[in-house]
Structures are given as C-alpha cells and as structure tokens.
Amino acid sequence: MKGLAGAGNQNMSQFAWQVQSVARAALDLLFPPRCAVCGRVERKLCADCVADFHPIGDSFCPTCGEPQLVSNICGRCAANPPAFEYIRSAYRYEAGLRKAIHVFKYNGRRGLAAPLADAMVQVLPKPLTTVVICPVPLYPARQAQRGYNQARLLAEELAHCWNLTCLPEEALRRIRSTSSQVGLDYTARQSNVSNAFAADPALVGGNAILLVDDVCTTGATMNACAKALLAAGATFVAGVSLARASSDGQSGR
C-alpha cells in the first residue's frame, strides 16, 4: 500500500507517543484533572459521565449512519447515493457529550482526545486492518486560531487504539473556507462544502481510507472529503464520528 510511513518512522512515532504519554501522566499527578462534564476532580472525563453518553444503537441508515426507527437506507441516501461507503457515529450529540466536545474544541482541552477516542472505541466496530485513518481537516486559518484540529487529535488517538496509520496533514486539505453548517438543510450543506477539499494522490492513492470527525450531521462534509479522496486515487472511503447531531439543521457539520 502506498502512502504509509516506513518502519523507521513508525518506530519513531511509537517512541514519541510513549514519551508524550509519560509526560501527560506526570502532569496529571502534578495537576489532577477535572472531568470536562461534571467537574469532579478525578480524570479528564470520568467513567460515570461516559456511561451517560447515548450510543446510537442498532437502528440507523446502513449508508450514512443516521439514527432511524428501522435500519433501511434513508431517503436522502436513496435519492443521492454518497461517495463514501458508510459513516458510523458512536453517540448522539446530546447533553454530557455535547458539553465535552465544546470544551475539547473551544477551551483548549486537547487532552480530552484520548478519553473521547476511548469512548468511541467502546461502541464502534474495529475497522479492517487494511484502512488508513484520515481526519476531516480544518481550514488553515481556523486551525491557526484554535491551535489544533480536534478531528486530527481524535484520529491520532484512534489510530493508536486500533493500531492503524494516520495520514499526515498534507494528505487531505481544506482549500476553501466554508461557513458554519449549523442551520443549513442538506442541499445547502452540500453546496457549502462542495469542492472545499483537495487530496494528494501521492499520499492517498491506492489506500482504503477511514475519515474521522468529531461531529457529523448529514454526512455532507464527509461526502465532500470522500469525493476529493476518490478523485486522488483512494480505493475506498468510509467515515466515523464521535457524535451524531440530529439532522434538523440545528447543529454539527
């Protein structure tokens, strides 16, 4: 498979990962973390709060992953088959998880990536070992403002949990600034993100790719990413998200 890190790079990144983990553990001893949801001094995200997250369950559209009463292809996917094979989301974008994601994205709490990825791994099926992981990118100006891309932090943690490779930032880039998807219907969401992404054929060509995002609503953003990845020679694109926002147009992207 093309586009994978060589063995040397892999060892180096494992070493860097271990150094980072030890540093994080030392910091936790010095400054005991508070749960991002309930505020209790214990962990960055306590087990009680994770247990309160609402998993998507068994009834969803087999293509876009939207929760439904029965697991049939939804009207949207039937009318407009998306470029991705499927999307699976771990939890509903509600209550405690909504708060945790807000803190993760807007309060600089990057350390939440590890417990949030652990929560994803608890409910999502393990992907095939042949896929490589790729986060949904932010527009560079937005990323510079925030200091990080929360989807990349989650993607790197998931790659670690599942023992998969995470593609570098150059693999998939957001080449056009897009306005927020909040409040837009599906058609407006699709045109808002259309042609907003570009993929590097040298990094993605010949690879089966699993996209990662924090919040997904209709899948319009992942669909635009999938089109760019397939155009650059990816053989397969699917996606996973930590949370699924309801597609009434009120939240998510």
- Shortest separation between residue 117's beta carbon and Zn ion, angstroms: 17
- Shortest separation between residue 82's beta carbon and Zn ion, angstroms: 8
Question: 201-219: b or e for each residue (b if 16 or more CB lie within 10 Å)?
Answer: eebbbebbbbbbbbbbbbb
Angstrom distance (rounded) from CA 212 to CA 219? 12
- Shortest separation between residue 200's beta carbon and Zn ion, angstroms: 29
74 vs 164, beta carbon nearer Zn ion: 74
94 vs 169, beta carbon nearer Zn ion: 94
16: left (phi over 0), alpha (psi -120 to 50) or beta: alpha
233: left (phi over 0), alpha (psi -120 to 50) or beta: left
Quick one: tokens of 94? 């509600």
Contact 96, 36 (CB under 8 A): no
Angstrom distance (rounded) from CA 41 to CA 166? 32
175 vs 188, beta carbon nearer Zn ion: 188
- Shortest separation between residue 64's beta carbon and Zn ion, angstroms: 3
- Shortest separation between residue 230's beta carbon and Zn ion, angstroms: 18
75, with CB counted inside 10 A (0-12, 13-18, 19+), is exposed
99 vs 173, beta carbon nearer Zn ion: 99
- Shortest separation between residue 186's beta carbon and Zn ion, angstroms: 10
Q: Residue 2: what residue type? A: K
184 vs 204, beta carbon nearer Zn ion: 184
10 vs 187, beta carbon nearer Zn ion: 187
Q: Which residues bind Zn ion (CB under 5 A)?
A: 35, 37-38, 46, 49, 61, 63-64, 74, 77
